[in-house]
Every structure is written in C-alpha cells, then in structure tokens.
Amino acid sequence: MQKITPFLWFDHQAEEAVNFYISIFADSRILTITHYGKEGAEVSGRPAGSVMTVAFQLAGQDFVALNGGPPFRFTEAVSFVINCQSQEEVDHYWEKLSAGGDAGAQQCGWLKDRYGLSWQIVPGELDGLLADPDPVKSGRVMQALLQMTKIDIAALKKAAAGPA
C-alpha cells in the first residue's frame, strides 16, 4: 500500500472523471468502487446506492476520487505534474487532458481539464535548461517559456542556443 494517496473531491462526476483519466494514462485501472449506503446518504445528501468513492491508479500511482457534492472545487493551488520524455508525449497529454477543459488561460505547460483539475505537462529537459549555469542562457529559456501555454521543446532549445 502506498503511504500517501491523493484524494480528489468531485461534485458527482468521480466515476466519469476516473474513466476519463484511465483512458489517457498507460498502466491505469479502477481498483474499487464504493457506494453510499443509507447512513452515508443521509449525512452527505447523495442518493443511496450512488457512487461514493473510486480507488484507481494512474501510471501506477494510487488515487481516490470522492463524490462529495458541490462545497469544494479544485484550484491551481494543487496540480499534478506529468514528466514527459518527448514532444510527442507532451502533445499527447496536452491534447487528451485539455479536451473539454481550459488550456489557453494558463502558461508554462499548465492546463485545467474538464473537471477543473490542474495539470502541468512538462518535458524532462526543462529543468536542465532552466538550471543552466549561464544566467543569460537560462534567462532566454525562461523568457521563451513564459510565452508558451503548451511547451515546445524545440523552441526552448532554440532559445537556449541564442541568436544565430
């Protein structure tokens, strides 16, 4: 059992959201689904027999989704980072997770999916480019990054190289 498990509060779309997420990530699956009984339904206001929680894995990482009602919403204060190895991988996750969500309002590889959950789609090379010991070079990379919504690895490398 994993020591720490992210617990995601949804209004009523936990199962729908989990099915969306597991369709995107390899090595992903639903582990268990629990339903509200009479007692839980009375306290929560959710219908008896409706889905209460969905335990699931994304890329081997355990999560739990709860249908807890409308009191709480996701904010950018918590996000999930997807470390990508190629532009194709960045493009894949960007396209899939932004479908029906909001990919244009944020910068530097951040997007909100259709459920309001924030994701950062980040190429593995980014840290090395930003941590370059040459402050002029890393500054050019940061300047380029700040102009992007979806991250373009080739454009970051071009910025790092500087003017031709």
What's the CATH architecture for 7-67?
Answer: 2-Layer Sandwich (3.30)
* Reported confidence tier of residue 108, pLDDT bands at 50, 70, 90: very high
Q: Which of 131, 107, 117 is nearest to 58 (CA)?
A: 117
pLDDT surpasses 80 at 113:
yes
Domains of the chain, by residue range, sit at: 7-67, 79-161
> What's the pLDDT tens digit per position in 40-85?
988 888 999 999 999 999 999 999 999 999 999 999 999 999 999 9
Superfamily of domain 79-161: 2,3-Dihydroxybiphenyl 1,2-Dioxygenase, domain 1 (3.10.180.10)
**97 and 79 Cβ atoms separated by less than 8 Å:** no
Q: What residue type is assigned to position 78 of the chain? A: V
Q: Which of 148, 144, 149 is nearest to 159 (CA)?
A: 144
Query: How far, CA to CA in Å, does 23 sit from each of 18, 34, 69, 93?
Result: 8, 21, 24, 11
